[in-house]
Amino acid sequence: MTDSFHCEQIPYSVLAAEYGTPLYVYSQQAMTAALNQYQQAFAALQPLICYAVKANSNLSILRHFARLGCGFDIVSRGELQRVLTAGGDAKNIIFSGVGKSCAEIEWALKQNIRCFNVESLPELERINTIAARLDKIAPISLRINPDVNAHTHPYISTGLKANKFGIAYQDAIAAYQLAATLPHLQITGIDCHIGSQLTDLSPLVEALERMLLLVDKLAALNIHLEHIDLGGGVGIVYQNENVPDLVTYAAAVKRLLAGRHLQLMLEPGRSLIGNAGTLLTTVEYIKHGEEKNFVVVDAAMNDLMRPSLYQAYHAIVNASQTSADELTADVVGPICESGDFLAKDRTIAAKAGDLLLIKSTGAYASSMASNYNTRCRAAEVLVNGAEYKLIRQRENLTDLLSPEKVCL
Ligand SMILES: Cc1ncc(COP(=O)(O)O)c(C=O)c1O
Ligand SMILES: N[C@@H](CCCC[NH3+])C(=O)O
């Protein structure tokens, strides 16, 4: 049974009663279904799907995707450690990010990861130097910034000239030529990632077309690539957005890659986990202000930063049999910031004690959580059919305070 009050066969109210709120709840079947959609749409191209760990890095979730055959896109030593701990195969790990430190590069080389997605010329030199010291050859791909407008929120757009990510398009050929002279690098591919929560397919296809122009120019220079990685970015429905259709996307990619011997890689994050997650929260107070009404809940911007950071919309459903009248209100948390809101001007019927479900919070919610206002990070539960498991226990104050010392 799946309706808005159940996660698979489990009523959200049962989980809230057992584990308390705020609580993140994930549907394992929804994750599997999201991955199946990719696997089926792109079946003819046999892509390596590298789940973007930053979207949700819980170890059980990584284990689930590893078991389903995913590779992983990581951006830090910490994420590498998580994937290995969860049983992911280093040979299917790609390492993105503009600021890889020497220690991170060394560690990743020692683990024999599949590839570094290199974002600058100094990074190329750094990887070559470290690989030489370790007597290794580092497989590298260059992340190219194709200067394509992804038409998404400016904070999550990454493929424009003004963004810090990737190597500028016009510098790409020279960067590959430099890489070809560095003896401890092995050029394996090319990649891009133009932004997140894309609702339109055309920028993704345009980016691929621009990358293929480079692939051809490189081939003419005798630099032959083994793979092309199109990044992530496929948007999900939070409210009523149109989102890219994977079958149409795959067909366009297939047409453009026809006749080429390039292994396809993808780095989806949000589209694999976003709609599989729900954040449960309890109403503390209904507060009638002079200009506005407020539904004050026990979750806050530290649990779900997206509304504060990007004015992002998340649907909110009252899971209690409420007797309250509808009102228009901001749904806010207890944090001492006016920016601490989970919804603005929402029509909602709620009273103190009601259980609210904040939808589409599988991606970039728990992984972006903080301890601001000395709030303990919430617990996480994974549901599979009629079974559920606690996959992260709620933090407690000992967890929070123990790294600190009173030494004055
Ligand atoms: C390099 C890279 N790959 C993949 C992703 C995953 O993106 P998304 O969650 O939009 O699929 C991101 C995040 O935007 C990223 O920075
Ligand atoms: N954190 C963002 C997405 C950024 C993805 C990282 N490049 C979000 O919540 O939508």
Q: Three-class SS string for the chain?
A: CCCCCEECCEEHHHHHHHHCCCEEEEEHHHHHHHHHHHHHHCHHHCCEEEEEHHHCCCHHHHHHHHHCCCEEEECCHHHHHHHHHCCCCHHHEEECCCCCCHHHHHHHHHCCCCEEEECCHHHHHHHHHHHHHCCCCEEEEEEEECCCCCCCCHHHECCCCCCCCCEEHHHHHHHHHHHHHCCCEEEEEEECCCECCECCCHHHHHHHHHHHHHHHHHHHCCCCCCEEECCCCECCCCCCCCCCCHHHHHHHHHHHHCCCCCEEEECCCHHHHHHHEEEEEEEEEEEECCCCEEEEECCCCCCCCHHHHHCCCCCEEECCCCCCCEEEEEEECCCCCCCCEEEEEEEEECCCCCEEEECCCCCCCHHHCCCHHHCCCCEEEEEECCEEEEEECCCCHHHHHCCCCCCC
Whole-number pLDDT of residue 164 = 81
Whole-number pLDDT of residue 149 = 83
Q: 292 near 286, Cβ under 8 Å?
A: no
**Which residue owns the Cα nearest ligand 2 atom 8?**
364
CATH, range 97-266: 3.20.20.10
pLDDT tens string, the chain, 408 residues long: the values are 556 899 999 999 999 999 999 999 999 999 999 999 999 999 999 999 999 999 999 999 999 999 999 999 999 999 999 999 999 999 999 999 999 999 999 999 999 999 999 999 999 999 999 999 999 999 999 999 998 887 777 776 666 677 788 899 999 999 999 999 999 999 999 999 999 999 999 999 999 999 999 999 999 999 999 999 999 999 999 999 999 999 999 999 999 999 999 999 999 999 999 999 999 999 999 999 899 999 999 999 999 999 999 999 999 999 998 788 999 999 999 999 999 999 999 999 999 999 999 999 999 999 999 999 999 999 999 999 999 999 999 999 999 999 999 999
pTM score of the predicted model:
0.97
Of these residues, 102, 336, 376, 407, which one is catalytic?
Answer: 336
Beta carbon of 269 within 6 Å of any ligand 1 atom = yes
Beta carbon of 229 within 6 Å of any ligand 1 atom = no
Catalytic (active site) residue 336: yes
Annotated binding-site members: 233, 267-270, 306, 310, 337, 364
ipTM for the whole complex: 0.98
Q: Which ligand is nearest to the CA of 274?
A: 1
End-to-end C-alpha distance for the chain, whole angstroms:
57
Beta carbon of 364 within 6 Å of any ligand 2 atom = yes
User: Where do the domains of the chain lie?
Assistant: 6-24+274-395, 97-266
- Whole-angstrom Cα distance, residue 390 to residue 20? 12
CA 156–ligand 1 middle distance (angstroms): 9
Beta carbon of 231 within 6 Å of any ligand 1 atom = yes
The label of the residue with tokens 């394996």 reads 188
The token duo for 393 is: 């226990």
Beta carbon of 193 within 6 Å of any ligand 1 atom = yes
CATH, range 6-24+274-395: 2.40.37.10
Q: Which atom of ligand 2 is least distant from the CA of 364?
A: 9
